[in-house]
Amino acid sequence: MLKAYLQLFRIPNLATVVADILAGFLLAHAALGHWPLLAVTLLCSCLLYTAGMVLNDYYDIEQDRIERPHRPLVRGAIDVAWAGRLGYLLLVMGVLVGWAAGYWFSSTAVSQAAYPWRSGMVATALAVCVVAYDRWLKRSMVGPICMGACRFLNILLGASVASLESRSSWWFESYQLAAAGAIGIYIAGVTLFAQSEARDSSRWRLLLATAIISLGIGLLAIFPSWLNHEAASAYASRVPLLATCLGLLIAWRCLRCIPAPTPALVQIAVKTCLMSLIVLDAVIALAVSDAAYAIGILSLLIPNMLLGRWIAST
């Protein structure tokens, strides 16, 4: 039973969610601190992500009966009706925790938050995108954009709570939006790439998706140019080269699928892209903080890979 729930939650991918929040936090704060607040924000993000995974299978039940008979809802390991209730319960809990994070931060003696509602607003927007994608948009051309918006908002969720103490404006800095946008575009491309991973994919779709993935990494490569002197770390100048090298490796893995776009090859490429998200988050951290934090984010590859051998991540 436990394994069935871990499969439903796609537990290996939670490492990428944690990496997003840490990168967002560092974008706004340059160092990890306020540990209870960070833990609450991580909980919020994990609840929303897990809700999305549950609702994904809940609304895909009929298609999974044909394409993914091994999924826990299809094979009856978990009751379908209960999965639907669980998904929305986790979603509501995530939104409530998001709102609580900002107001809890505002009430601490460490600092007073000028905009304690900001993390709640981001969490609410993220929840809306999760439901919109799972219930209505997944199979449309808008679906990848919506999924990209989810990751964009997840980065901003980490930034929203970390920067409240020093903000004079309720909005985000341009470099925070650039980094979050780069990850959002990247994931939009990965989602488009994976949209028909259970059957032979269209070569043109894979080529377009690879171009979008490369565009996201390209934006990440130049995002340090948005950094002001105070926000940039000593390693910011190395980000363009690191991002370019990573982009070439990811593009090569994706382009290998073009001659034979079979489910097996496409799924391997998608798994590689999802794992690489942790590396991209580490690159963001390197641009704005100490290298130790980037290495810490990279270490999330370990649970991602170990759990991925036991539980499918796609």
Alpha-carbon distance of 131 to 133, in angstroms, equals 5
Instruction: Give CA separation, 79 vs 13, 83, 93, 175, 294, in Å.
Output: 23, 6, 21, 44, 40
**Looking at residues 189-196, what average pLDDT do you find?**
92
**Looking at residues 152-168, what average pLDDT do you find?**
76
**DSSP-assigned letter for residue 142:** T
Nearest to 182 by CA among 140, 226, 142: 226
- Statement: residue 34 has pLDDT above 60: yes
Q: In 173-262, where does DSSP find H-type helix?
A: 174-194, 203-222, 239-255
Nearest to 216 by CA among 196, 189, 250: 189
3-class secondary structure per residue, 43-78: HHHHHHHHHHHHHHHHHCHHHHHHHCCCCCCCCCCC
What was the pLDDT predicted at 206?
95
Please, what is the angle between helix 239-255 and helix 263-288, to 10°? 180
| pLDDT tens digits, 270-311 | 999 999 999 999 999 999 999 999 999 999 999 999 998 888
- Statement: residue 53 has pLDDT above 70: yes
Percent of the chain with pLDDT over 70: 93
**Looking at residues 80-101, what average pLDDT do you find?**
96
What was the pLDDT predicted at 1?
81
- Confidence at 32, pLDDT banded by 50, 70, 90: confident
CB of 115 closer than 8 Å to CB of 148: no
What was the pLDDT predicted at 166?
52
Alpha-carbon distance of 90 to 284, in angstroms, equals 29
Q: Domain residues of the chain, as ranges?
A: 2-308
> How many Cβ atoms are within 10 Å of 91's Cβ, its own excluded?
24
**Looking at residues 105-127, what average pLDDT do you find?**
74
| pLDDT tens digits, 103-113 | 776 665 444 44
| pLDDT tens digits, 228-238 | 877 788 899 99
Nearest to 204 by CA among 242, 258, 155: 258
Reduced to 3 states (helix: H, G, I; strand: E, B; else coil), residue 160 is helix
| pLDDT tens digits, 167-191 | 545 678 899 999 999 999 999 999 9
